[in-house]
Amino acid sequence: MHRRTFIAGGAGGLLAAPLTAEAQRRKTPVIGALSPCGPSLPPAGQREPFERGLRELGWIPGFTVLIEERYADGKPDQLPTLAAELVRMKVDVIAAHGTVAVRAARQATSTIPVVMAAAGDPIREGLVQSLARPGGNLTGLTFLAQGRIEPKQLELLKEAVSGLTRVAVLENRSGDPAVAEEIGAAAPALRICLRTFAVSSPEEIPDAFRAMAQDGAGAVLVLADPLVLDPHSACSAALALRDRLPAFLGRPFPATMAA
């Protein structure tokens, strides 16, 4: 896991960094940033626009506001521990990216405000009472398109690939089961037989594609997944080209992995 603290200081202030940090904490607001990924992978790369947004609102990271970052490095089981750590630090607000991080933050505190980003349906997840009146200490943005666009993607694959009858679905083994359910409900009307291939790490992606080819898949639908599949969409694209499989990728990111 990774921990980062942004604290202002010149060359003369480096020797007194511990004291400066403690003094700043007593008077400077602190944002806790919680992510299921690592600092070198999406969505961690969104830190720059996050800080830019703060500056546009008049907050200067490292001067008028501090940011404590906690990364789970693709291991969502670490998020509750990292969230509890931020709560013990008494941060003023927690910005959580993704449903698993939001859930961990919400379970760790009922008093510190939690701002969610790119989360799934918070009502279905039991995180809020309603979108209009979420209640409790949770607010933010939700990616409600997830779970609704995948059936449309399946339909587009059917239109693009003549005679398509078998589609492989590549998903994260710990992903949202509701998405797969909606795709499964749409498949019969399209006269498509679905086979699901689940992975838990990027190293498993090549084996999954080999299994798809052996199973006779006519196309592959790669579900959106910020932990494993999205950061390695370049790998999925390369493997689909290798196996001549028409593919619909969830969210492409500029990342690579050896096939």
| 14 and 111 assigned to the same domain | yes
Tokens 């998903």 belong to residue: 171
| Torsion angle (degrees, nearest 10) of CA 211, 185, 253, 41 | -80
Could you tell me if residue 164 is inside a domain?
A: yes
* Separation between Cα atoms, residue 206 and residue 228, nearest integer Å: 13
Mean pLDDT for the chain overall: 81
* Separation between Cα atoms, residue 176 and residue 28, nearest integer Å: 38
| 132 and 10 assigned to the same domain | yes
Residue 40 contacts by C-beta under 8 Å, 6 or more apart in sequence?
A: none
CATH code, 215: 3.40.50.2300
Q: Report pLDDT for 8.
A: 35
| 18 and 101 assigned to the same domain | yes
| 132 and 157 assigned to the same domain | no
Cα-to-chain-centroid distance, residue 113:
20
Could you tell me if residue 256 is inside a domain?
A: no
Could you tell me if residue 212 is inside a domain?
A: yes
pTM: 0.59
| 38 and 124 assigned to the same domain | yes
Domain that residue 211 falls in: 149-248
Q: Which residues of the chain have a pLDDT value below 50?
A: 5-20, 22-25, 41-42, 44, 146-147, 253-259
Could you tell me if residue 91 is inside a domain?
A: yes
Residues constituting the chain: 259
| 84 and 210 assigned to the same domain | no
Reading the block at residue 42, the tokens are: 């999406």
Q: Report pLDDT for 4.
A: 54
Question: How many domains in the chain?
Answer: 2
| 69 and 197 assigned to the same domain | no
* Separation between Cα atoms, residue 194 and residue 205, nearest integer Å: 18
Phi-psi region of 244 (alpha: psi -120 to 50; beta: other; left: phi over 0): left
| 153 and 241 assigned to the same domain | yes
Q: Report pLDDT for 143.
A: 64
Kindly report, residue by residue over 72-104, the tens digit of the pLDDT.
Answer: 887 888 999 999 999 999 999 999 988 889 999
Could you tell me if residue 90 is inside a domain?
A: yes
